[in-house]
Structure 1
Amino acid sequence: MAYNLMLFSLTVGLVAGYSENGYYFENHKYCDDLSPYYGEINLDSISGVWYGVEKIPHLKGEYKIEHTKDCFYIDIKELYIEPTPPTPYPPLTNSPYVNRQFGLPEPYRVRHFVLEWHEGLWRDDYHIKVNTSHKGFWQTDLPNRSVEDMYRFFGGVIQVLKVANNHLVLNFCMRLPHSQLYSVVLSRNENQLTAEDLASIHNVFTMKHLSTSALKRVCENSAASISAPYIVFVSLCFILWRSRG
């Protein structure tokens, strides 16, 4: 009798824990929860277009910075809001889950988004669901497609490492179809971030123990990549031309 009671209590505890944090409970086997996040996470403000500035695969090794003219941007769109189901535990069977902070019922807890990644002619969709009690932890969701197509969408989590008015930092931890761990630095407008912005962002990676030894700066415009000797040469030609005139 005592054993059955203990087993029942353990089962209820596990189920309760899953219903409270179930949207990311499974993924903790694979991806660390990197909270707390930096900045106020407002899902409505985060929606929209963000332009790629850097992509950082978190690989340990020789320090290198790669510069490329290739560009990407993401577009975050809300699909729908899922009403919170009633709790299965009496005496709250017909009541929605309660927000512990304010003691108020939560009529809507899970919001569904699609994150469209655009890079040249290629586009990929990341279907995500966000539990509003943990807004920075986005679990990837399977779209309503055939099994074959589903496997083109990898499984894991996307986390908001930092958010501000002019920039957003996302961490991608994926296990399907193959393991990936990388972060992207995004700006609300193209060519907006300063060296100071990037320095503060890289400090976040350091605090989260995420390696930045390999770093890829994207969408480097042609003007920024002109070498110093070439600029000097053009300047001298201009001076000589003016002196002859």
Structure 2
Amino acid sequence: MALQIRMFSLLLTYVKCFSENSYYFENHKYCDDLSPYYGDINLDSITGVWYGVEKIPHSKGEYKIEHTRDCFYIDIKELYIEPTPPTPYPPLTNSPYVNRQFGLPEHYRVRHFVLEWHEGLWRDDYHIKVNTSHKGFWPTDVPSRSVDNMYRFFGGVIQVLKVANNHLVLNFCMRLPNSQLFSVVLSRNENQLTGEDLASIHNVFTMKHLSTSALKRVCDNSASSLTVSYLVFLMLSSLLLRSRT
């Protein structure tokens, strides 16, 4: 009897490992796993509103920094928790999923969230599912919408590159409806991050081999002063040219 229980236990472990590897493999066909992540990922404290600071498209090219007064923020909300399904192998029926890192029972395995992206009057929802054994890897889920709206479905993976009390860094690997790879730097409160904070965050991109040649600093009030300075420069140049003619 003890041998049968041991065999069932090994079989259950194999099935779980296979299902987890399949779960990640389906997404890794398009998006690399960028773990390990920086910071303790607490899914409960990571929810709520985060304000955009920077958006970095990871495309190689001419180095440029863009300043814009346009703002965006995200709101992460939990939808529901998917309980661990009971095993069909007695006497292991209803045995909870085991967190292999600590050897402790885990009462749920997949948590479903929606990430709402708000930018001006525009809003889009990213439906994501999080396997609690790999909390920083968020594959997108098919939203429960009408068919016409599903054409805007984000197909890919969102990953947590860094999380701290005052900031969050997310990487978006999009393959549907078009191919994109970009990251966003977010702060818990508006105008909270310092230059030192941003320098530390940019080191993470370097370690992950993600290009930062192009960078957009959003919700930046200095963008208006830059525009005014440029207009003044144009006016002075025009007056100077007129005085010479």
CA–CA separation in structure 2 for the residues paired with 1:49 and 1:199: 23
Pairwise CA distance, 1:93: 4.7
Say if 2:42 is the partner of 1:51: no
Secondary structure of the corresponding residue to residue 162 of structure 1: strand
Q: Which amino acid aligns with 1:54?
A: E
Q: State the TM-score, normalized to the length of structure 2.
A: 0.82
Residue aligned with 2:28, SS? helix
Distance in 2, Cα, partners of 1:155 & 1:176: 5
Tell me how far 1:18 sits from its aligned partner.
3.5
Q: Percent identity?
A: 88
1:9-65 deviation per Cα after TM superposition (whole angstroms, max 9, x unaligned): xxx998544323443321011100000000111111111110101000000011011
Are 1:199 and 2:199 matched, yes or no? yes
Counterpart mapping for 1:53-72 below 5 A: 53-72=53-72
- Per-residue Cα deviation, 1:117-140 (whole angstroms, up to 9, x for no partner): 000000000011111111111111
> 1:95 corresponds to which residue?
95
Give the 3-state SS of the residue equivalent to 1:200 in structure 2: helix
Tell whether the 8 Å contact from 1:70 to 1:218 is kept in structure 2 after alignment.
Answer: yes
Q: Counterpart in 2 of 1:127?
A: 127
Q: Which residue pairs with 2:18 in the alignment?
A: 18
SS at match of 2:53: strand
For 1:19 and 1:91, locate their aligned partners in 2 and report how far apart those are by CA, in whole Å. Answer: 21
Per the TM alignment, residue 100 of structure 1 is displaced from its structure 2 partner at its CA by 1.7
Aligned-partner residue type, residue 99 of structure 1: N
- Unpaired stretches in structure 1, ≥5 consecutive residues: 1-11, 234-245
Please say if residues 80 and 113 of structure 1, whose CA atoms lie closer than 8 Å, have aligned partners that are also in contact: yes
Q: How many pairs align?
A: 220
Alignment partner, residue 226 of structure 1:
225
* Matched residue, 2:181: 181
TM score, norm. by length of structure 1: 0.82
- CA root-mean-square deviation: 2.4
**Structure 2 counterparts to residues 105-120 of structure 1, below 5 A:** 105-120=105-120
Per-residue CA distance 1:190-213 (angstroms, 9 max, x = gap): 111100000000000000000000
Give CA-to-partner distance per residue, 1:58-79, whole Å, 9 cap, x none: 0001101111111100000111
| CA distance in 2: counterparts of 1:71 and 1:137, whole angstroms | 26
Q: 1:224 to 1:154 in 2, by over 3 A?
A: closer
Moved more, 13-22 or 174-183: 13-22
Q: Which amino acid counterpart does residue 143 of structure 1 have in structure 2?
A: P
Q: Which region of structure 1 is more displaced relative to structure 2, 126-135 or 79-88?
A: 79-88
- Equivalent residues of 2:68, 2:223 under 8 A apart: no
Q: Would you say 1:156 and 2:156 are equivalent positions?
A: yes
- The answer to whether the 8 A contact 1:86-1:97 is kept is no
Q: What stretches of structure 1 move > 3 A for 4+ residues in a row? A: 12-18, 87-94
Alignment-derived partner of residue 144 in structure 1 = 144
